[in-house]
Amino acid sequence: MLADLSSLIGYRFKDQTLLKRALRHRSAGDPNNERLEFLGDAVLGIVIAEALYQHHPHAREGELSRMRSILVSGVHLTELAKKLELGSYIELGAGELKSGGRHRESILADSLEALIGAIYLDSDMATCRRCIFKWYGEKLDELSEMRPAKDAKSYLQEWLQAHKFPLPIYTATISGKPHQQTFEVICQVHGLPHQANGVGASRRKAEQLAARHYLDLYCQDSA
């Protein structure tokens, strides 16, 4: 069965113990894949950061940070895990198995990171890079068409999901005459200290500006 997975991921493990551990969820007991997940998250981050740096020579630091956050978000990792049919190979405890853990997004995303960590320990960074690029395929190229101004709310949501924060709250204040209204929106997230505002002729525009300003605050803190 694991041989089938090796074909799907494009890598054959020398140490099968590493592969089995990468696929063992904590609900199945110890040892499990949490430590490999930690390592894989770091490896994935540097591989994606390097690729974006090389492929987008004119992008600013803030834009690179946002693109990286999207690519390593739980949403994208879950999508990749499903393409690799990873859920069929994850070892789960009885309770998690009964509740549909094979299809749970967080378990799929975490297991994919653990798999990356296991490949790194079983081989090297160059091999990890080849596997990751193969899995992502055109996703890296598609980012060249993305710009923060296009849909800042979506970018912010992706970043928050990637870092396990709740969704943002947008609070609007309306002023002016009915035919010349001005919308001022405050964007804030529980658990984060920042809040940002945006002003526009429509609530939608004001929310987009507030989200963009919130992203800018994050990038400043990350510099």
Catalytic residue among 63, 91, 96, 113: 113
DSSP string over the chain: -HHHHHHHHT---S-HHHHHHHTB-GGG-SS-SHHHHHHHHHHHHHHHHHHHHHH-TT--HHHHHHHHHHHTSHHHHHHHHHHTTGGGG-B--HHHHHTTGGG-HHHHHHHHHHHHHHHHHHS-HHHHHHHHHHHHTTHHHHGGG--TTT-HHHHHHHHHHHTTPPPPEEEEEEES-TTS-EEEEEEE-TT-S-EEEEEESSHHHHHHHHHHHHHHHHHHHH-
Catalytic residue among 37, 41, 96, 207: 41
Specify whether 124 is catalytic: no
Specify whether 141 is catalytic: no
Q: Which residues are catalytic?
A: 41, 113
